Structure 1
Amino acid sequence: MPRRRAANVQISVIGLGYLGAVHAASMAKLGHHVVGVDVDTDRVEALAAGKAPFFEPGLDDLLSQVMATGRLTVSTEMSAVEGSRVHFVCVGTPQRSDGQAADLTYVDAAVEELVRHLGAGDVVVGKSTVPVGTAQRLSDLVATSRPDAALAWNPEFLREGFAVQDTLHPDRLVYGLPDGEAGERAAVVLDEVYATLLAEDVPRIVTDYPTAELVKVAANSFLATKISFINAMAELCEVAGGDVARLADAIGYDARIGRRFLNAGLGFGGGCLPKDIRAFRARADELGAGDAVAFLGEVDAINTRRRRRMVELAVEVLGGMVESAEVTVLGAAFKPDSDDVRDSPALDVAARLAELGAVVTVHDPQAIDNARAKQPQLHYERDLEAALAGADAVLLLTEWKQYRDLDPERVGTLVAQRTILDGRNALSRTMWTDAGWQYRALGRR
């Protein structure tokens, strides 16, 4: 494919949440002039001040850089997009409150308002994760309001904790395009936007709308399946007396399988994998192909069972005496290097133990404020040693580096009982047992 010269493109980004804020800042970093739009005044004000409204490594520095150049501005008014050639739609698609399907309220509202401000030949680019068939419906909406505009679907593949890196150095670019001249024109414009990345030989996959929509949910479903597979093996190891960590090492040497994402533990959470696999199943059912992805129901169930099993293990190591037991939970975010507590396994386990009568103290380097808003009944402590003081059991449930690097001898001087449950198989069992700790982990003797 011929490489295009990097150009300055006028871009708008609608929705400045996790995806949109990172995308807007990254596009400005690539040299484009970007205006971001969001209805959340607090979010817009934070970004205008060069401050990310959530924790993401590297994003504050990136915002400071691009704000200083003047290439990124933010607004609460949709009219601010006028004059941009390319409009990225980055709003959320949460799970519906009345079922497992994706809620497209925000996507529909964003596009319906956006089309009133489109100029001749503009390109609307969807990045939100949506059910297959959404792009064609929105393309028809754009064409009805602005026949000379075009719609493309360009799914995102961001990992929380690595979002800046994943945007500036992606492992692939996917263009979902309409047939004919509109699709050709949209491809040219997207090539201009991503010229710097294409010059670095980032793979570029051009396909139709349905395939582009399916790429993201298929990738998330595959990842969720791999995680739940090793957690299913952990369930078997627990009853058979095996060691799931050694099992994962052994099968991970097979190049067809690989070792990544075979760390058994508490399972996945966050704002993507759980709701995306549920929405995928719901959409497949609507299309009459539910049997094809029915296995995702068990993937989801395995993931949920891990949380229940961690609570059972905590009760076991406490000798069944949960009432008034002092339990320290290390981690509230669903994964390290994030302050996101959406569907967090760690926070879910903490809340379940509190319901059983335990006195639960939660520590997290970044997610305490978000966790408190979600589970206000729990105790929160920002000082790690204070959180550990007097604990009858310590549960490591989010594998932050500072937890992985804990000194078992030092921690042992703080707690009441040297009992640790490693919910992420992130610690050295030998180090902790040599220091006199009772060490337990999911899927291990």
Structure 2
Amino acid sequence: MPLKLTVIGTGYLGATHAAAMAELGFDVLGLDIDRGKIEMLQQGRVPMYEPGLEELLSRHVAGLPDSSGRLRFTSSWEEIGEFGDVHFVCVNTPQKHGEYACDMSYVDSAFSLLAPHLKRPALVVGKSTVPVGSASRLAGVLRELAPVGEGAELAWNPEFLREGFAVEDTLHPDRIVVGVSGERAETLLREVYAGPIAEGTPFVVTDYPTAELVKTAANAFLATKISFINAMAEVSEAAGGDVAKLAEAIGYDDRIGHKFLRAGIGFGGGCLPKDIRAFMARAGELGADQALTFLREVDSVNMRRRTHMVEMARDAVGGGFLGRRIAVLGATFKPDSDDVRDSPALNVAGQIQLQGGQVTVYDPKGMDNARRLFPTLGYAPTALDAVRGADVVLHLTEWRQFRELDPAALAEVTRQRSILDGRNALDPTLWRKAGWTYRAMGRPSA
């Protein structure tokens, strides 16, 4: 009999995973306690923007025209327990309020609610990003609360999704990591991921702690690389150098590479910032805090970039924001997403507004979420409208749409032809040719 899969939690990770598992040929039942979210998913819609996800859902959600019918949704834990052979836990693990540590309450709740309904052998697979040591504890929760006892096994299978590429990353991952305690769990997961494995995706089998550490270690490395080039931008500015050329030159070393070496206002979003902070907190609990003290500086460099962009904007408008109009291009923390969690762009916009600036924001996909988070900022329906009458333009999210803007057309509506490229993604020559003063972090003024 083909395996039946469940996905617990249908947010960004869970909705993507459920749709992708249906695409791989499995019957899938998704669970969420938010009935509004369930109703939306049953219509083939998602509460976030992710390229290709709604199309994938519509191909498989039961009841939709021309769908495979392999994907359904419920709010019943009993139905989940009866249906599934393999249960994927995909709930959120945010940062605790006022602390660096990870909030495990959603994961703990999911396990305690699922376990009593496991009356036959089943594999529970954690995909959430959790502090190392969590899996061993949760395996004990399953054994204690599940009627099937030892028949309820646990595996940990971290996700490595990039927002904007989540569908591709799930269907064609660059690696699959599974932390298991026995051969049966490994065998079941090899069956689940048979498609990607057949395509040549590496399948890495580890113990629980290593699987948990892989995700946090990967995020810590990426954050370090981003903050490294931003630190080099600070030195380049002080020395009169060009960080873009510096990054190009060191990136040709294949031990370093060019990826994540674009200096700017730093990283944000729902993963990197909270994951490196939770990693530091957990290392402290384990007595290994000295191993990760460098991440404090990584975090500090990252946050400093936002303040530096505010200072650059203040200089560009003559030393003070009162009475000045500032256009901000970008609200999301990265392009191809509507995610504004810990967005550097909105953080900068908010700081400038608090200092008296009249800020107008435009983003191709993040406007509704930005309005909910920063309702007092001004919002424009187009980039041209955002720039109209502005004393300075800040490019803060590297959407392709912004790279394709016509500097000459924008020059006709702005008050001052001054642009600050917070992502080092625009063509300086093109903008200067159109009469703009172009500045970017870590690069010469001209």
Hey, what's the Cα distance between the residues in 2 that align with 1:419 and 1:64? 45
Question: Aligned ranges for residues 100-115 of structure 1 at < 5 Å?
Answer: 100-115=100-115
Is residue 332–residue 341 contact of structure 1 (8 Å, CA) maintained in 2? yes
- Aligned to 1:147, the other structure's residue is in SS state helix
Mean CA deviation greater in 385-394 or 424-433: 385-394
Partner of 2:141: 141
Question: Aligned ranges for residues 60-79 of structure 1 at < 5 Å?
Answer: 60-67=54-61, 68-79=67-78
Hey, what's the Cα distance between the residues in 2 that align with 1:234 and 1:40? 44
Hey, what's the Cα distance between the residues in 2 that align with 1:41 and 1:246? 51
Hey, what's the Cα distance between the residues in 2 that align with 1:60 and 1:388? 32
Give, in angstroms, the shift of residue 384 of structure 1: 2.3
- Aligned to 1:227, the other structure's residue is in SS state helix
Matched letter for residue 133 of structure 2: G
Mean CA deviation greater in 12-21 or 138-147: 138-147
Hey, what's the Cα distance between the residues in 2 that align with 1:347 and 1:98? 21
Partner of 1:341: 340
Partner of 2:64: none
Matched letter for residue 342 of structure 2: D
Partner of 1:85: 85
Hey, what's the Cα distance between the residues in 2 that align with 1:407 and 1:118? 59
Give, in angstroms, the shift of residue 165 of structure 1: 0.2
Partner of 1:314: 313
Matched letter for residue 177 of structure 1: V
Hey, what's the Cα distance between the residues in 2 that align with 1:369 and 1:407? 25
Length, aligned pairs only: 435
Give, in angstroms, the shift of residue 380 of structure 1: 1.0
Q: 1:330 to 1:340 in 2, by over 3 A?
A: same
Q: Over residues 30-69 of structure 1, what are the superposed CA-to-partner deviations in whole Å (9 max), with x where a residue is unaligned? A: 0000011111122111111001110000001111111211
Matched letter for residue 44 of structure 1: I
Partner of 2:198: 199
Hey, what's the Cα distance between the residues in 2 that align with 1:48 and 1:363? 31
Matched letter for residue 100 of structure 1: Y
Mean CA deviation greater in 320-329 or 103-112: 320-329
1:162 to 162, 165, 182: 165
1:214 aligns with 2:213: yes
Is residue 9–residue 32 contact of structure 1 (8 Å, CA) maintained in 2? yes
1:171 aligns with 2:170: no
- Aligned to 2:115, the other structure's residue is in SS state helix
Partner of 1:408: 407
2:43 to 33, 45, 49: 49
Partner of 1:361: 360
Matched letter for residue 308 of structure 1: T
Hey, what's the Cα distance between the residues in 1 that align with 2:210 and 2:244? 36
Query: Where has structure 1 moved over 3 Å in runs of 4 or more?
Result: none
Is residue 37–residue 80 contact of structure 1 (8 Å, CA) maintained in 2? no
- Aligned to 1:292, the other structure's residue is in SS state helix
Hey, what's the Cα distance between the residues in 1 that align with 2:124 and 2:186? 12
Give, in angstroms, the shift of residue 197 of structure 1: 1.1
- Aligned to 1:73, the other structure's residue is in SS state strand
2:4 to 10, 17, 21: 10
Hey, what's the Cα distance between the residues in 1 that align with 2:317 and 2:79? 58
Q: TM-score when scaled to structure 2?
A: 0.96
Output the aligned Cα RMSD.
0.9
Partner of 2:429: 430
Matched letter for residue 55 of structure 2: D
Hey, what's the Cα distance between the residues in 1 that align with 2:345 and 2:233? 18
Question: Aligned ranges for residues 115-126 of structure 1 at < 5 Å?
Answer: 115-126=115-126
Partner of 1:3: none
Partner of 1:282: 281
Matched letter for residue 175 of structure 2: R
Q: Over residues 318-361 of structure 1, what are the superposed CA-to-partner deviations in whole Å (9 max), with x where a residue is unaligned? A: 11131121111000000000000100000000000000111000
Give, in angstroms, the shift of residue 79 of structure 1: 2.0
Give, in angstroms, the shift of residue 382 of structure 1: 2.0
Q: TM-score when scaled to structure 1?
A: 0.97
Hey, what's the Cα distance between the residues in 1 that align with 2:123 and 2:185? 6
Give, in angstroms, the shift of residue 158 of structure 1: 0.3
Give, in angstroms, the shift of residue 8 of structure 1: 3.4
Matched letter for residue 11 of structure 1: L
Hey, what's the Cα distance between the residues in 1 that align with 2:100 and 2:378? 31
Matched letter for residue 18 of structure 1: Y
Hey, what's the Cα distance between the residues in 2 that align with 1:166 and 1:119? 33
Where does structure 1 lack aligned partners over 5 or more consecutive residues? 1-6
Hey, what's the Cα distance between the residues in 1 that align with 2:435 and 2:320? 21
Where does structure 2 lack aligned partners over 5 or more consecutive residues? 62-66
Mean CA deviation greater in 142-151 or 95-104: 142-151
